[in-house]
Amino acid sequence: MIVGVLGGGQLGRMLALAGTPLGLRFHFLDPAPDAPARDVGTLHVGSYDDQERLERLAQNAVVVTYEFENVPVEAARRLEALVPVLPPPAALEAAQDRLTEKRLFARLGIPTPRFGETLADVGLPAVVKTRRLGYDGKGQRVLRSEAEAATAARELGGPLLYEELIEFERELAILAVRSTAGETAYYPLVETEQRDGILRSARAPAGAELQGQAEELAGRLLAELGYAGVLALELFETGGRLLASELAPRVHNSGHWTIEGAVTSQFENHLRAVLGLPLGSTAALGPAALVNLIGGVPPLEELLAVPGAHVHLYGKPPRPGRKLGHVTLVGAGADGVARVVALAEHAAR
Amino acid sequence: MIVGVLGGGQLGRMLALAGTPLGLRFHFLDPAPDAPARDVGTLHVGSYDDQERLERLAQNAVVVTYEFENVPVEAARRLEALVPVLPPPAALEAAQDRLTEKRLFARLGIPTPRFGETLADVGLPAVVKTRRLGYDGKGQRVLRSEAEAATAARELGGPLLYEELIEFERELAILAVRSTAGETAYYPLVETEQRDGILRSARAPAGAELQGQAEELAGRLLAELGYAGVLALELFETGGRLLASELAPRVHNSGHWTIEGAVTSQFENHLRAVLGLPLGSTAALGPAALVNLIGGVPPLEELLAVPGAHVHLYGKPPRPGRKLGHVTLVGAGADGVARVVALAEHAAR
């Protein structure tokens, strides 16, 4: 059984590593000939709007999914004529425009920071984001004055979304999964640490108090979108309440700890979900910490010398600010995590 | 960094699935164009004695290992001129001839059942085995009479090894690992259930009482052979003593539970060992059970409906008596294991 994947990045690579033991085979479409997924499946190199390549991807696949949310919705829609595309392209569409996304939250009664198309809608301080194509902190700025707002608007260009700058206690994320058979499951809440808009580290489970609230919010999205697959909902915790920040209609960096830290990884459950197979348990096996390797990779022998460190490298050439891998520790003490963080920070410089 | 592997079966496939997250890439040499490892690396299709193909395998590899112990020793020796080959070809040589293997045990003071080149050396009842090329119960017979012995000798042909038929309480296996830096580690003892010479299921840990004794025996082999990689030693437990049955100079079916059931899998530790990287913890995460899928694969949706079942399929066409996959359950009750066994037995028919 072949699964087609739009995008051949590290998420595609980890999908294939999780799906190969289930007897699945993978075909990827990606413009980059050295895409990380090349090692674990057949890589079709081409643009996402190349009709011939899309057809080739669809040819033997039982389902096509995506691992990158900036895949053109048009490509997903064209594929849909040939093969099931899951999560549904409507989810991709909602996630690609930050204003559409926020309006979806609003329509479903999911609380968010105040937002609008002008700074006047939200006041200062604020965050301004391009409505499209931002990721990992690219295409966004914090605004503390009208002057900063004017500069940002000029520099970012294109349609913008303004959001109230939230004073939050924690950034959290919940991963929800729904299968084509309608079965749903939720992973334990994750606390994420972001810097310059990039996820640096994560810890799970992040406490049971807000779990029900987070599941309820994510559940509204699953139902509204007729969803199948894993969906990530990023949240701010402020005064015991959750405000939705962003949704990602795919497996997500905040869930990489599930490979070793949960009974079933987000990658395996995404595949089970889009194939209509029974979902696996999302229970955590213990407290887990995830550290991203950004901009540089520490020597393998130093990482592996940290007891319990599970190393995941994506096979990407180093570049400042680029996610090159991650390390997961399960049930380990703070010592191990601190060692990995120190190694990661040293390598990033 | 590329690892070369002689053999492209399920063990090679699982080596690559464990090594890809470490940033390793894999090249396999196997005569079968549909070898299971084809999905997770570059497969060179050819015979093990094809010099050109051996050279191609060695070309970019930092080390060559093997996943199949009937690879011609000559191939391993020829490769050694080009690239490190680990475990050392001497281990391969010792394991390929059951008489040499037994004599190695004897020389190291490792107790075994009585053995010899004639039935007279051991008496009846006995087991007769071809000295070479047997696996999964092929090439061996139980002998209860002189008549059976005569028939078996005629049918099996070639040089034979006779062993005393042991009344044992349990069949056990220990997986030992030693790195090129001399670091060693041992997995918890596994209890194996064999039928018709094929491993059907396994449970680990199999109890601490005999752990020290097993480690001590396996340790003698590691030291004698100047070993690097994972080595499996199959044992009989009889009256609180361990008798060595066979050694396998490679990752082993009895250790597949380590993928989910141990901190570090046998596959990852084998790679760490041959690359001289620090070994990972061999501690079990909980009681684990492994069930082989032999001759037929149950429907995926039925296997995945068993809570906590981790399914591993090897991508091989079904054939009676062929190992097609395995299922691991960690910390699960007897119910789950019984359900998987029932599914496996139904599919085998």
pLDDT digits over B10-42, tens only? 999 999 999 999 999 999 999 999 999 999 999
8 Å CB contact of B300 and A13: no
DSSP-derived 3-state class of residue A209:
coil
* Closest Cβ opposite residue A313 in set B23, B39, B40: B23
Percent of chain A at pLDDT above 70?
A: 99
Indicate if B66 and B31 belong to the same structural domain: yes
Q: Rounded distance, CA A290 to CA A185, Å? A: 21
Q: Within a domain: residue A105? A: no
Nearest residue on chain A to B312, judged by CA atoms?
Answer: A21
Q: Within a domain: residue B91? A: no
Packing angle of the helix pair B73-80, B89-96 (nearest 10 deg): 170
pLDDT of residue A197: 83
Residues 318-347 of B with CB under 8 A from A: 325
| Residue where a domain terminates, one of A34, A68, A85 | A85
Intervals of chain B under pLDDT 70: 134-137, 332
Contacts of A310 (CB under 8 A, 6+ apart): A259, A260, A327, A328, A329, A330, B21
Return the CATH number at A36.
3.40.50.20
Q: How many structural domains is chain B composed of? A: 4
Q: Within a domain: residue A261? A: yes
Indicate if B155 and B173 belong to the same structural domain: no
* CB-based contact, A181 to chain B, within 8 Å: no
Q: Rounded distance, CA B234 to CA B224, Å? A: 17
8 Å CB contact of B17 and A17: yes
pLDDT, tens only, A317-329: 999 999 999 999 9
Indicate if B27 and B76 belong to the same structural domain: yes
Q: Within a domain: residue A159? A: yes
Q: Within a domain: residue A93? A: no
8 Å CB contact of B281 and A308: yes
Q: Within a domain: residue B236? A: yes
A307: chain B residues, CB-CB within 8 Å: 281
Q: Are strands B323-330 and B288-294 parallel, antiparallel or unpaired?
A: antiparallel
pTM of the model: 0.96
Q: Rounded distance, CA B287 to CA A286, Å? A: 16
8 Å CB contact of B40 and A20: yes
B257 burial class (0-12, 13-18, 19+ CB within 10 angstroms)? buried
CB pairs under 8 A between A and B: 70
Indicate if A220 and A297 belong to the same structural domain: yes
Q: Are strands B42-45 and B25-30 parallel, antiparallel or unpaired?
A: parallel
Q: Within a domain: residue A211? A: yes
Nearest residue on chain A to B332, judged by CA atoms?
Answer: A263
Q: Which two tokens stand for residue A272?
A: 């089970």
Residue pointed to by tokens 């007891």:
A307
B326: chain A residues, CB-CB within 8 Å: none
Indicate if B208 and B264 belong to the same structural domain: yes
Report the first-to-last Cα separation within chain B, whole angstroms: 43
Indicate if B9 and B75 belong to the same structural domain: yes
Domain containing A260 equals: 170-348
pLDDT of residue B290: 97
Residue pointed to by tokens 């990721």:
A135
B281: chain A residues, CB-CB within 8 Å: 307-308
* CB-based contact, B287 to chain A, within 8 Å: no
A17: chain B residues, CB-CB within 8 Å: 17, 20-21
Q: Rounded distance, CA B122 to CA B117, Å? A: 9
8 Å CB contact of B308 and A272: no
DSSP-derived 3-state class of residue A54:
helix
Indicate if B104 and B227 belong to the same structural domain: yes
Neighbours of B336 (CB within 10 A): 19
A132 confidence band (pLDDT: 50, 70, 90): confident
Q: Are strands B61-66 and B2-6 parallel, antiparallel or unpaired?
A: parallel
Asked whether the predicted pLDDT for residue A334 surpasses 80, the reply is no
B22: chain A residues, CB-CB within 8 Å: 300, 311, 313
Give the phi and the psi of residue A336 in degrees, each rounded to 5.
-60, -45
Q: Within a domain: residue A179? A: yes
Q: Mutating which of A39, A62, A258 best tests the B interface, going by the most B Cβ atoms within 10 A?
A: A39
* Closest Cβ opposite residue A22 in set B23, B285, B300: B300
Torsion, Cα of B283, B285, B289, B291 (10° steps): -80
Give A27→chain B minimum CA distance, Å.
11
Residues 184-243 of B with CB under 8 A from A: none
* CB-based contact, A22 to chain B, within 8 Å: yes
pLDDT of residue B136: 62
Indicate if A199 and A67 belong to the same structural domain: no
Indicate if B256 and B293 belong to the same structural domain: no
What are the helix and strand counts (H, E) for chain A?
11, 17
What percentage of chain A's residues is helix, strand, coil (to nearest 5)? 35, 30, 35
Indicate if B238 and B105 belong to the same structural domain: yes
Q: Rounded distance, CA B303 to CA B339, Å? A: 9
Three-state SS string across chain B, please? CEEEEECCCHHHHHHHHHHHHHCCEEEEEECCCCCHHHHHCEEEECCCCCHHHHHHHHHCEEEEEECCCCCCHHHHHHHHCCCCECCCHHHHHHHHCHHHHHHHHHHCCCCCCCEECCHHHCCCCEEEEECCCCCCCCCEEEECCHHHHHHHHHHHCCCEEEEECCCCCEEEEEEEEECCCCCEEECCCEEEEEECCEEEEEEECCCCCCHHHHHHHHHHHHHHHCCCEEEEEEEEEECCEEEEEEEECCCCHHHCCHHHHECCCHHHHHHHHHCCCCCCCCCECCCEEEEEEECCCCCHHHHHCCCCCEEEECCCCCCCCCEEEEEEEECCCHHHHHHHHHHHHHHHC
pLDDT of residue B124: 94
| Residue where a domain terminates, one of A41, A67, A85 | A85
Neighbours of A209 (CB within 10 A): 10
ipTM: 0.95
Return the CATH number at A120.
3.30.1490.20
* Closest Cβ opposite residue B277 in set A21, A263, A304: A304
pLDDT of residue B158: 85
Nearest residue on chain B to A317, judged by CA atoms?
Answer: B23
Q: Mutating which of A38, A177, A304, A326 best tests the B interface, going by the most B Cβ atoms within 10 A?
A: A304
Indicate if B105 and B247 belong to the same structural domain: yes
Give A223→chain B minimum CA distance, Å.
23
Residues 24-83 of B with CB under 8 A from A: 25, 39-41
Asked whether the predicted pLDDT for residue A260 surpasses 70, the reply is yes
* Closest Cβ opposite residue A278 in set B13, B305, B315: B305
Indicate if A208 and A306 belong to the same structural domain: yes
